Structure formats: structure tokens, C-alpha cells
Amino acid sequence: MPRALLLENIDPVAVETLSAAGYEVESVRGALDEADLIAALDGVHLLGIRSKTQVSASALERHPGLAAVGAFCIGTNQIDLGAAAAAGVAVFNAPYSNTRSVVELAIAEIISLARRLNDRDRALHAGIWDKSATGSHEIRGRTLGIVGYGNIGSQLSVLAEALGMRVLFYDLEDKLALGNAQACGSLDELLERAETVTLHVDGRAGNAGLFGAQQFARMRPRSLFLNLSRGFVVDHEALREHVLSGHIAGAAVDVFPDEPREQGDPFDSVLRGLPNVILTPHVGGSTQEAQYDIGRFVAGKLADYARTGTTTLSVNLPAVALHGSSAARFALLHRNVPGVLARVDALVGEHGLNVDGQVLATRGELGYVVTDVNGGLPPALLTALEALPETVRLTTFPRYR
């Protein structure tokens, strides 16, 4: 019975989905370090993780039986995607499932910071009645600057505008503005015009240290700042200094450069205890609705790939989907050089088979071809396909045998 390993407390719907697809599923609450992951992957065909577990080239090389990795989150920077592709391991993620949850948290925190609700809450819990409008503002009519106008940033733009905010955004790519949002030509322009700045950039290495002392100094006095993207993007020492000086009137941070691995582990940050600063433990996408959708979506992608070879929305392999019900199917991941498809089809013909359906796609140095044939797959054909010098991985599918 094929095995699936799910780490980091992935929603039970993923277990249900993979179990229904014929997998023996082991679900582990926490993350694993590299040594423990390497040991746990023995005999595992499908791996599911979230953001804490690092899937290294070493772990992939030691387990050639691993077919696919599912990142049950948005980011995939915790996985060595190049090494996974070279090993023929497909990687899938959930780029849209928790978008709404992150956006709602950002809206809630913008309002909370503008009204200084965090400070009011602390005072009342301490037995102090501090009923005052000092430092408390509506967000209607204020200017929001969104850094990163992808799925989350653009949806935040729409909701913020519906609440009466003016919206500016900055992105490295040319993006279509939604509603009345205005694109800024540079990050500096956005910082000089916006009264609230929120970061929604991706995890690419080039974003490390994106926001530091220079950027905070560029922001308007008494601005608000939010980061719900990646922990390594922001210099927290610089943020602390600008909060203490009063230049930044409030901040909300959901992600940190170093985060505890297990729930309940101790946490420390230079931002703890600061006035009008909201700290949340990387829960932007942690709603029951989002986790259910992520579990269903990514587990479904893993099951489809294992059952039919479909790589639609894979982040590291060419995208292929072949619909059919032939007697047999195989998929060949190969180096992207001319003539491979012709040799594949010639081998199929040499073994007395016809091609009923076939789809080929390429991505960089890799090509991926899924082929349906009209009869069983002779062992000699599979041996010949594996012997092709360009072959990276050959897969056959039980549904079609």
C-alpha cells in the first residue's frame, strides 16, 4: 500500500482525501529537522509539509521513491525546487486558498492600530479605565500603501477601498490596478505618500532585508506598518527604534526571521512589549476555512498526480494534463533536448502499441510527456524508456494498467 506522510498539523481533510485515493497516511503534528525527515521518509511516496519543515537536496537524493511534495501553504522557499525537479519530484502548493484569511487579518489589524485597540485592551485588563479619543482615528479617507500586488495585495486593495481608504501599490512587475488603486513608480514614492504601509511580497531571496532603517525613515511621521509576508523581509531592530522614537505610530507583525518549530515553544522578539504593536504567531492564513481549503486542494493535487500524472499548477515541473481512459499510461520526465518525443513514440510502435493520447510540455531544462497507449505496458518497453539517456524519471499509473 503506498504511503503518505503529512507533517505540521495539516487539516484532517487531507488525510481523508489521500486515504480515499488508496494511501496509508501518517499525520504528524510538528515539523521535522533534516535528520529526522530523512529517517521518516523511508518508504514514503507523498510528503505534505507547511512552512517549518525544510526539504533539502540531501533529503530528496536519499529517497528516490518519493514522488511528490505538497506545500500546504502559499510559499515553497522551504523546498529545494531545483533539486526536486532534478529528482523528478513534483511540488504543489496552495497559492490562493488562504488569500481571504490573510486579507481579513490585515484589515482587522489596520483598524486595530488606527484605533489603538491593543493599548486600550491592555489598559483595561490591567484595571485602568482609559476612555479617550487621543491617537484614535478612522481609516476612512486615509491612504494605504500595499507593497506587493499579487493575490493577497490586490484583494486587500479591493476591501480597503470598500472601507473608504485611498490605495496605492508598488510591485516589481507591471500589474493591473483594481478599482481606483494607483500604482507607484518606486517604493520610495509609496512610502512618502502612504499613511499605512503593508507588505505582501513573496519569499524570493531578493526580498531579504527589503525593509530596513532607510525605508522606515522614508515613511511619513506617525505612519502605521504591517508585515504579513515573510519574516526575513524586515529589520526588526530598525522597526523597534522607529516605534520607540514615535516615527512609526503602530505596527502589526505576523512573521518573524526565526520562528519556533512547535506549538507552545518559547518565543522572543525585540518587538515584544512595545506600545501599539500587535504580534501574531504566523496565523495570517490560519483560519479553519483556509486550512480546510488548503488541505483539500493540495491533497487533491497530490492524489491526481499519483493517479494520472497530472502536473497542473506544479511549481517545478512542466504543466501537463491528459484526459482519457486508455488501457495503459506512462509519464516520462526527461531532459529537454530535441528528438525525445520521436524516440518515445518509436519505442511504443516497436512494441506493437498505438498512441491513443499524448501531451508534452517543457519547462526550462525539463520536458514532461504523458502518453496513453492501447494495450498493456510490456516490461521491455519500460526498460527501453528508462534506458533513454535523457530520462529523469519514468512513472506508470495503476489506474491505466
Query: Which is it for strands 328-335 and 391-396: parallel, antiparallel or unpaired?
Result: antiparallel
Q: Is 259 noted as a catalytic residue in this protein? A: yes
Long-range contacts for 71-76 (Cβ within 8 Å, ≥24 apart)? 71/298, 71/315, 72/6, 72/8, 72/10, 72/11, 72/14, 72/48, 72/294, 72/295, 72/298, 73/98, 73/285, 73/294, 74/98, 74/285, 75/51, 75/202, 75/203, 75/230, 76/203, 76/315
Q: How far apart are CA 326 and CA 341, in angstroms?
A: 19
The catalytically annotated residue of 230, 329, 334, 393 is 230
Q: How far apart are CA 112 and CA 95, in angstroms?
A: 27
The catalytically annotated residue of 16, 161, 189, 259 is 259
Please tell me whether residue 183 adopts helix, strand or coil conformation: strand
CB atoms within 10 A of CB 95: 18
Cell numbers at 37, concatenated: 525527515
Say which residue the cell 511540488 belongs to. 91
Residues pairing with 335 in the sheet: 366
Q: How far apart are CA 152 and CA 343, in angstroms?
A: 45
Count the alpha carbons within 13 Å of 147 in the hemisphere toward its beta carbon.
Answer: 28
Q: How far apart are CA 93 and CA 51, in angstroms?
A: 11
C-alpha torsion sign, points 106, 135, 165, 241: negative
Question: What's the one-letter identity of residue 221?
Answer: P
The catalytically annotated residue of 282, 329, 334, 393 is 282
Question: What's the one-letter identity of residue 116?
Answer: R
Rounded (10°) angle between helices 12-20 and 288-308: 20
| Angle (nearest 5°) at CA 190 between 225 and 158 | 75
Cell numbers at 375, concatenated: 494495450
Residues with active-site annotation: 230, 259, 282
